[in-house]
Amino acid sequence: MAKTVSFNAMDAGTREDYDLVFAQDRGNTAHQAERVFEWLQMMDGDSPYKISRLGHSLQTATRAEADGADEEMVVCALLHDIGDILAPANHSQAAAALLRPYVSKRNHWIVEHHGLFQGYYWFHHYDQDRNTRDKFREHEHYAACVAFCADWDQKSFDPEYPTLPLEHFKPMVRRLFARAPNEHV
């Protein structure tokens, strides 16, 4: 049986206990990319769009790469909607939280705000202000988020587009999550 900590409650833990816990955590971290792939596969189910949510994610990443985006941005494009099925009420923030320790502040901001910015394309059908995003007009990453949505995200529901498969992106995702995280909790 695997070794376990000595405590039943955290306040009784010792340094040795936490060494054991964090050693296990490091093993989980090494498998993080594989967990992300499993999650993406769950997004390959039924969808009201013409393609699955995985297909949309792959197409968004394919367009980003085709436009010359760097690897970090391509992975952000691939994972921007990974919150969709777990956190439908705040999917952008869920994806941004996953990516935050491994990406720039700029790319984190884009992923975190893309849902609101995408509202430009559909809010008006529900009598909401499609320009709600303009409250961020003075933000340094406003234009980049507008472009992310316009050029990659909102276009990527096309079953005819030559979308690259997940296998193409896997090495990029593995490299991103192999980076030293810039925060612990």
In the complex with Fe ion, the residue whose CB is nearer, 88 or 165, is: 88
Stretch in the footprint of Fe ion (CB under 5 A) among 25-33, 43-51, 73-81, 167-175: 73-81
Q: Does residue 65 belong to the site contacting Fe ion (CB under 5 A)?
A: no
Segment near Fe ion (CB under 5 A), from 8-16, 22-30, 108-116, 140-148? 108-116
State which residue, 33 or 51, has the beta carbon closest to Fe ion.
Answer: 51
| Residue 46 Rama label (left phi>0; alpha psi -120 to 50; beta) | beta
Applying CB under 5 A, the site for Fe ion has a residue count of: 3
* Consecutive H or E run containing 95: helix 91-99
Q: CA-based Rg of the chain, rounded to a whole angstrom?
A: 19
Segment interacting with Fe ion, rule: CB under 5 A, options 81-89, 96-104, 136-144, 165-173: 81-89
* Angle formed at CA 110 by CA 105 and CA 112, multiple of 5 degrees: 90
Measured distance CA(185)–CA(159) in Å, rounded: 39
Q: Rounded to the nearest whole angstrom, what is the least distance from the CB of residue 83 to Fe ion in the complex?
A: 8
81 binds Fe ion (CB under 5 A): yes
Residue with tokens 């695997």: 2
Nearest CB to Fe ion, comparing residues 22 and 49: 49
- Is residue 26 within 8 Å of residue 18, measured between CB atoms? no
Q: How far is CA 142 from CA 109, 138, 158, in A?
A: 9, 7, 26
**Sign of the alpha-carbon dihedral angle for 23, 26, 31, 35:** positive
**Closer residue to Fe ion (CB): 118 or 176:** 118
Taking CB under 5 A as the criterion, the residue among 72, 153, 169, 177 binding Fe ion is 153
> Interface with Fe ion includes 72 (CB under 5 A)?
no
Task: Name the residues that contact Fe ion, by CB under 5 A.
Answer: 81, 115, 153
